[in-house]
Copies of this chain bind each other. A is one copy, B any other.
Amino acid sequence: MSKPSIPKGTRDFAPDVMARRQWMLGVIRSGMERHGFVPIETPAMENLSTLTGKYGDEGDQLIFKILNNGDYLSGVEVGPWESRDSKAVLPQISKKALRYDLTVPFARFVVMERHRLAMPFRRYQIQNVWRGDRPGRGRYQEFTQCDADIIGSEDPVCEWDLLLLFHEVLQALGVQGYEIVVNDRRVLAGLAEVWGIADRLTAWTVAMDKLDKVGPEGVLQELADRGFGAEVCGRVGEMLAAVTGRDAHARLAWLADVCGPAGEAGRNEVAWLLSRCAAAGLGSEHLVFDPTLARGLNYYTGAIFEVRVPGAPVGSICGGGRYADLTGIFGMPGLSGVGISFGADRIYDVLEHQGGFPPTAVAGPALLLFRLEEQDLDLQLQRLQAARAAGISAVLYPDVSKLKKQLKFASDTGVRHVLFQGEPERLAGQVAMKDMVSGTQWLLPEDGWLAALLEQRAAV
């Protein structure tokens, strides 16, 4: 028999990792709920037609398709079969696929449920998504997204609300040194307009999106490679030089100077957001206006967000933005929304890198009861029940065996307290309790150990 394994790019989560993930996801969920978002879940499997064409050609390639059940080849037409063309055969043998993100399923959900949803609708969704990306450091084929969206309102108060949600959650998680970066697609469109490249906005922003990785020189090289003229490259170069530093007002002033009325609505909203966020405690230490921020997805139409942790071993840990027409792809045009996504797996990596998980985020029972003598079983079962009824996670070592073996098990599982009663303790009407961390051991009256344990735990 071959050694069992799991597919590349997927992971088992052992109890220690699970405890930290549960704590982290709980903090994110609790922040979202405090902001009035309500949960939904959508199926792992969507109709293939729901997903294809939504993520570009490259995205379509990365969607995991599910083979039809049964004799899936029986319905394949002769033409595609004889062509032996994977693309032509695909729709004949697969009707379902795995969710690729949470945004498209959310848009589909809104369209299907539109008569039952009060608008504006605020939903959160914490589920896994699957992508056939080449596995690598921090890149998995199954990972967890945590999305919060407000749909059905164009008011920038929604953006303010989401920026504060980023801030509150990242504060509660204890992430060090994060930067919430904002920009506005209209600011970028304004620059493109005055530079005469409005028709090539996407090509320009795609090149600029790589600024973090390749630097200003790299961006200019890529623009030249993409056929942008020397004049445009010169202007982009000026811009990249002008917007260094973190003074948002200087950046806005430079843009106003260069663009005039073009992009003014975007600049005004950025200025409004910066001032309202500062008033709410989210100032320039954590909130940065960066007019070079582009975000790859082209459904964004207004504000765009990204959260970075300079020096951390991953790229951006969160993202988001406003979209004027997400549900249009499902036949319900004109519904504006804004959303953000927490990348749980990357936030986990950052917290691990920073040593940021709280010592309480551990798995496993708090109390282990030993079994030293056959005859003590009934008493130990009663004690086990009493501890659990008091809310303490407790287990009984299932076999009668040597004290040393049971102590080793306690140490291996990381349990904090153990309780036992050997012959000497039994004859004295006492039980022994030991704190495995401090090594302290107590002899307690048989009816007093639970109160003593609760007191110990409250003091820890």
Contact = CB atoms under 8 A, between A and B. Distances in A.
A413 interface: yes
Interface in A33-58: 33-36, 38-47, 49-50
A67 B329 CA distance: 26
A404 interface: no
A244 to B, nearest CB: 32
Nearest to A150: B398
Given A72-B86, A398-B158, A18 B6 contact: no
A382 B164 CA distance: 12
A427 interface: no
A271 to B, nearest CB: 15
Given A39-B19, A46-B6, A111-B4, A132 B34 contact: no
Given A36-B364, A66-B66, A14 B113 contact: yes
Interface stretch (A88-96, A201-209, A218-226, A450-458): A88-96
Given A13-B40, A36-B364, A71-B86, 14 more contacts: A10-B45, A13-B42, A14-B113, A15-B40, A15-B123, A34-B391, A35-B393, A44-B44, A44-B142, A45-B141, A61-B70, A65-B66, A157-B381, A280-B385
B69 A132 contact: yes
Contacts of A81: 84
A73 interface: yes
Contacts of A14: 40, 113, 116
Contact of A120 (B73, B276, B388, B398): B398
Interface in A379-399: 381-382, 385, 388, 391-396, 398-399
A130 B45 contact: yes
Contacts of A3: 331
A157 B86 contact: no
A422 interface: no
B1 A15 contact: no
A438 interface: no
A2 interface: yes
A47 B157 contact: no
Closest 9 CB pairs of A and B: A36-B395, A36-B365, A10-B43, A118-B412, A15-B38, A155-B398, A69-B132, A38-B363, A18-B39
Contacts of A257: none
B69 A4 contact: no
A89 B69 contact: no
Contacts of A281: 385
Given A41-B13, A279-B378, A365-B36, A67 B69 contact: no
A325 to B, nearest CB: 14
Contacts of A160: 381
Nearest to A104: B4
Nearest to A394: B36
A64 interface: yes
A67 B70 contact: no
Contact of A118 (B38, B94, B392, B409): B409
A41 to B, nearest CB: 4
A375 interface: no
A397 B32 CA distance: 16
A418 interface: no
Interface in A114-159: 116, 118, 120, 122-123, 128, 130, 132, 141-142, 150, 153, 155, 157-158
Indicate the member of A13, A70, A281 with the most B CB atoms within 10 Å: A13
A7 B38 contact: no
Contacts of A7: 43, 45-47, 95-96
